[in-house]
Chain A
Amino acid sequence: MSLDKSTLEKVANLARIKVKESEIDPLINELNNIMSWVEKLNEVDIDNIEPMTGVSDAKLRERNDEVNDGGYQDKVVNNSPESISNSFSVPKVIE
Chain B
Amino acid sequence: MREPIILKGETGQWEMVIGLEIHAQVKCKSKLFSGSSTEFGAEPNTQVSFIDAAMPGMLPVINQEAVDQAIRTGHALNAKINNMSVFDRKNYFYPDLPQGYQISQYKSPIVGEGWLIIDLGKGETKKIGIERLHLEQDAGKLMHDQHPKYSLVDLNRSGIPLMEIVSKPDMRDWEEAGAYLRKLRSIVRYIDSCDGNMDQGSLRCDANISVRRPGEKFGTRCELKNINSVKFMMKAVEYEAYRQIEIIEAGNQVKQETRLYDPIKNETRSMRSKEEAHDYRYFPDPDLLPLYITDERINTFKKNLPELPDVKRDRFQKEYNLSFYDADVLTADKLHADFFESLAKGRDAKFVANWIITNFFAMLNEVDKSIEESPIKEEQLGELFDLINDGTISGRTAKEVFEEMFTNGGNASEIVEKKGLKQISNTDELEAMIQKIIEDNSQQVEKFRSGNEKLFGWFVGQVMKNTQGAANPKVVNEILKKSLKN
Q: Which residues of A contact B (CB under 8 A)?
A: 10, 13-14, 16, 53-54, 58-73, 76-77, 79, 82, 84-95
Contact = CB atoms under 8 A, between A and B. Distances in A.
B45 A73 contact: yes
B62 interface: yes
B432 interface: no
A84 B292 contact: no
Contacts of B152: 84-85, 87-90
Given A59-B289, A70-B46, A85-B44, A65 B66 contact: yes
Contacts of B151: 89-94
B43 A86 contact: yes
Interface in B211-239: none
10 contacts: A14-B281, A65-B30, A67-B36, A71-B36, A71-B47, A77-B45, A85-B152, A93-B94, A93-B142, A95-B271
A92 B150 CA distance: 5
Contact of A89 (B52, B147, B276, B288): B147
Contact of B91 (A14, A58, A94): A14
Given A71-B47, A86-B44, A95-B271, A76 B143 contact: no
Given A14-B276, A87-B153, A89-B150, A66 B35 contact: yes
Q: Interface majority SS on A: helix, strand, loop or mixed?
A: loop
B93 to A, nearest CB: 6
B95 interface: yes
**Most central of A61, A91, A93, A95 by chain B CB within 10 Å:** A95
Nearest to B144: A94
Contact of A87 (B51, B62, B154): B154
B6 interface: no
Interface in B48-92: 48-53, 61-67, 91-92
Contacts of B92: 14
B212 to A, nearest CB: 29
Contacts of B63: 62-63, 65
A79 B52 CA distance: 14
